[in-house]
Structure 1
Amino acid sequence: MKTLDSTISNSSTEIAQKTVYPILFAVAIAHLFNDLLQAVIPAAYPILKENYNLSFAQIGLITLSYQLAASILQPLVGLYTDKNPKPFSQMFGMLFSLAGIISLAYANSFGLVIMAVVLIGIGSSIFHPESSRISFLASGGKRGLAQSIFQLGGNAGTAIGPLLVAFIVVPRSQHHIVWFAIIALLALFVLYRIAFWYQNHLNLRAKTKANIVLPDLTKKQVTFAIITLMILIFSKFFYTASISSYFTFYLMDKFQLSIQDAQFHLFWFLAACAVGTLIGGPLGDKFGRKYVIWFSVLGAAPFTLLLPFADLFWTGVLSVVIGMIISSAFPAILVYAQELLPKKLGMVSGLFYGFAFGMGGLGSALLGSLADKTSIIYVYQICAYLPLIGIVALFLPNLKKK
């Protein structure tokens, strides 16, 4: 006969290994709110540029400051929470973002703008590692799907942000950014509910022995694979930095669009990224993450090479195709990395999110400086070659479990 302890243990194991869709979607909604607040920063660049007479290099410095704050802390946060899970830490991070949004609305100098975006960056650095871990734990083994749902929320927030800025802030003034504080308050409510599930889930897992599946690879092979994935992250996020930070300026300069019209084009690119993200994870589950990664980064190259020479209509079409293809890589990359180091989920998530943000920030700063010295159109001609780096995905090992 089964003992009571055995029955409880089996029940706990079953619950802990079940795909929990309400939590996956709740984390995705929280990610939507978090990344929507982040998206306010680049969407407000045309307003900030006009208000403070900023150069492209200074705009790049704003992005670099935010991205460094969002990137440097993430691996450290993840490493700490691997050993000391903190279910309510995401709420603490959202309070930083709330303070940053309010500060950005009332900033009256370039220095205060930098301070405001750093606060938002710190909030993001606390949010992402634990949220990614929760998605992993709630996946029930459907890791690619879970990561895609999580990323879909983030990409949707990134897409909606510029649209809301175009409607709420652009026709009025910088002070109207304060309305986005409502988004932060909604996020705090969602994160509060998630935190209780996370706490209960940790208690359930404590009653069972977790079965961690390790890849059948040597330490050198794992290290090589991590480095290869980081090269791919560099290629992807350096290119997407050119879109998220400067696409509106590119369209305004080349096609003489208004700020609002340019923001609509940026929205369609970001919406395509959301669709691509949703597709990438499940395809990785079904066909193998290596092949999705290879296609996602390298497959965008023909379209990025055409983009600088297209008219307005085809620029819109190509940007949607590029967004859909290139964005499908990140869920596959992140889950692949988590499967390489399954005992360090927080650290791996923080490392890759942090590196992605860091490359985006560095790319924005360098491309802004290049745009000042040459032209914004020349920047897109150079960036068109970045997805060709995706060829290195061919060297990723096939993961076999042991």
Structure 2
Amino acid sequence: MSSAAEPEIPDFPAARAPGCPFDPPPVWQTLRNENPLTKVRLWDGSTPWLVTRYADQRALLADPRISVDSSRPGYPHLSPHGGGSNLAFLRMDDPEHARLRRMVTAPFAIKRIEAMRPAVQKIVDDLIDDMLAGPNPVDLVEALALPMPTLVISQLLGVPYTDHQFFQENTNAIIRRTATPEERAVAGRQLGEYLAGLVGQKLTDPGDDVLSDLATRVNAGELTRREATQIGVLLLIAGHETTANMVALGTLALLEHPDQLDLLRKSDDPKVVASAVEELLRYLHITHNGMQRVALDDIEIAGRTIRAGDGVLTLNEVGNRDPEAFPDEPDTLDITRNARHHVTFGFGVHQCLGQSLARMELQVVYNTLYKRIPTLRRAVDLDQIPFKHDGFIYGVYELPVTW
């Protein structure tokens, strides 16, 4: 079906409604209800398919006829940069994707992650101690949301935390949608050179960390140094930036829903905390510009035909609000909801490798922060909080809080 058959092709991305920072753009919600598979127009004039319904998203993300390879013609690039060179297996199809991903699955296994919980708890407690001993108000992003996952992923990977400002700044350049191709290229090159240096050190002086495991595989001929470096870059970026945004944005959402915050604060049940994490992941879904794919073959879905070579965007933040999947007021934050089946971490073979780590970190933060600081509240009006509308990962640049 050609794009000419559509009465109107909306531009992508779209703006959120004023005063509704936690909700997807209303135009996509409307399309999900009225035209769940439609074309949209990107910055370069290309018109990929936008998939807004939960069931269709899961079907496509699990379909082997859909590719994540960003070098294929028709792949829907969301900005004029052509990136993907440092994203390791994130932009690869099987079997190469599976080969490289297997190299780092063990450190993210649930049992290994659970063994890290006491260490993460100590990091969170120490950071909250520093908050309470320091100035009031304070920026929660700077005081807790960003340093916590950065410390955790640094220890897990074997990256010196003292270099955190360097890799955080370069990460911001890579994920900022408005960054120029030159800015993104420089940031990618600097991060690549940095990780390559660390991998090189661990070839001869390994430790007990993920980069040392990768270096061991390089020595064994299972990986090239370039592959090990690219995996390191991917894990470093994904391991701190996503969770940091969920900590801050989730806290803000709870502060705006005091009844839900009260339920969470008063409960000592780990199941309530875990449920709250899943619901916040569903309700917020910080990857707010969709998951990009390109069709390898013709695919019949939702009464339409996606042709081979067509770009596809699965807008999972809208799928997570689909009443067919979440029938009880899906636009409402309800931490008692069974939301575990959300598609925030994707679906199929490319679902997020680090989801167990993210869940554990969020459980520790959400179970600790509001109990230790029960009077936590915003220090500024909601309209004064700077949201990340210009990034591929949604959140807030600052969250001033007081108590």
Name the TM-score class by shorter chain.
0.3 to 0.5
Higher relative contact order (CA 8 A, sep 6+): 1
TM-score by length of 1: 0.32
TM-score scaled by structure 2?
Answer: 0.32
Question: Which of the two has greater helix per residue?
Answer: 1
